[in-house]
Structures are given as structure tokens and as C-alpha cells.
Amino acid sequence: MATILLIIHGLVAVALLGAATHQTLATWRHARARPGSFLGRFRAVPSAAFADAIVLLYVLSALLGAVVYLYFRVDVRPGLERGAHWPALGFFDIKEHFVSIGLALLPAYWICWQPPLVGALARTRAALTTILACIVWWNFLVGHVVNNIKGLGS
């Protein structure tokens, strides 16, 4: 069961990673890439259209992570402690803190992206989007690395 949940958690995280990265790059597209180039097309997405999906995917990913975390604490972490993987445990702790703070930012993030987009909130919108994207990237990489050290079911 834990392995199935972990795989679903990972798949949701991949979707979230893509959406958050797309939106962040589109938000910071002041220095426009050459039109027609790969980067230009990558950035030229309607940013606001991603907001609902990102909120939904973030909440779903956090919920799945919160469930998998129970298995992690009992089955995985003791092994990491015995193996003295202290930095991995530290990085994982930072991941859990960032998840919570990111969750709390979602209401403000969602409101900032509601049409019509308010110009006065442009910088706040960009900052919140970037912070969420950084959290998603950090959590994805740390989760991946910790799973590689001693994954569930190993």
C-alpha cells in the first residue's frame, strides 16, 4: 500500500513540478526569449490558467505525502538513522516545513491569480509563484534522493 501511495505521490509531484515551472517561467518572461524557439514557446503559456491546477495538485500531493510520511517514520527513518544519513534527514525535515508553509500560501497565491489580474499585485504574484515553485522543486528533489537512499519496501 505504501509503495502504491508513494508512486501516486511521485506522479502527482511530477505534474505539479511541470505546472509550477511553466507558470514561473511565464511569469518572469520580461526578458523575452526568441519567438518560436523552444524556450519562447515554453514561456508563452497563459500563466493564470495554471493556478487552479497548481493549487489542486499541491493539496493532493501534500495529502498523499502526509499519509506516506507515516510509513516513512516507522519503516524508513530508523534505517536512515542507523546509517547515519543525518544530512538526508535534515533535508527531509526542511521539506516537511516547506510543505506546510507552501500550503498556507496557497489562498493568497490563488487570489493573486484570479482574473482580472491586478497590476498592483504583479510583484507579489510573481514572488508567491516563485516561492511555491522553489518549494515544489526542493521537495521533489529531496523526496527523490531520500527514496533512493532507502526507499519504501527496500
Residues that bind another protein (CB under 8 A): 66, 69-71, 73-74, 77-78, 84, 86-87, 89-90, 93-94, 96-98, 100-101, 103-105, 107-108, 110-111, 120-121, 123-124, 127-128, 131
Reduced to 3 states (helix: H, G, I; strand: E, B; else coil), residue 34 is coil
For another protein, the closer of residues 42 and 71 by Cβ is 71
**Long-range contacts, stretch 9-15, CB < 8 angstroms, 24+ apart:** 9/61, 9/64, 9/65, 9/68, 9/143, 10/143, 10/144, 12/57, 12/60, 12/61, 12/64, 13/61, 13/136, 13/139, 13/140, 13/143, 14/140, 15/57
For another protein, the closer of residues 49 and 66 by Cβ is 66
User: To the nearest whole angstrom, how small is the minimum distance from the Cβ of residue 44 to another protein?
Assistant: 25
User: To the nearest whole angstrom, how small is the minimum distance from the Cβ of residue 38 to another protein?
Assistant: 30
User: To the nearest whole angstrom, how small is the minimum distance from the Cβ of residue 111 to another protein?
Assistant: 5
For another protein, the closer of residues 100 and 154 by Cβ is 100
C-beta separation of 64 from 9 below 8 A: yes
What's the alpha-carbon Rg for the chain, to the nearest Å?
17
Count of C-beta atoms within a 10 Å radius of residue 58: 25
For another protein, the closer of residues 4 and 74 by Cβ is 74
User: To the nearest whole angstrom, how small is the minimum distance from the Cβ of residue 25 to another protein?
Assistant: 18
Q: What is the DSSP letter of 118?
A: P
User: To the nearest whole angstrom, how small is the minimum distance from the Cβ of residue 63 to another protein?
Assistant: 12
For another protein, the closer of residues 39 and 141 by Cβ is 141
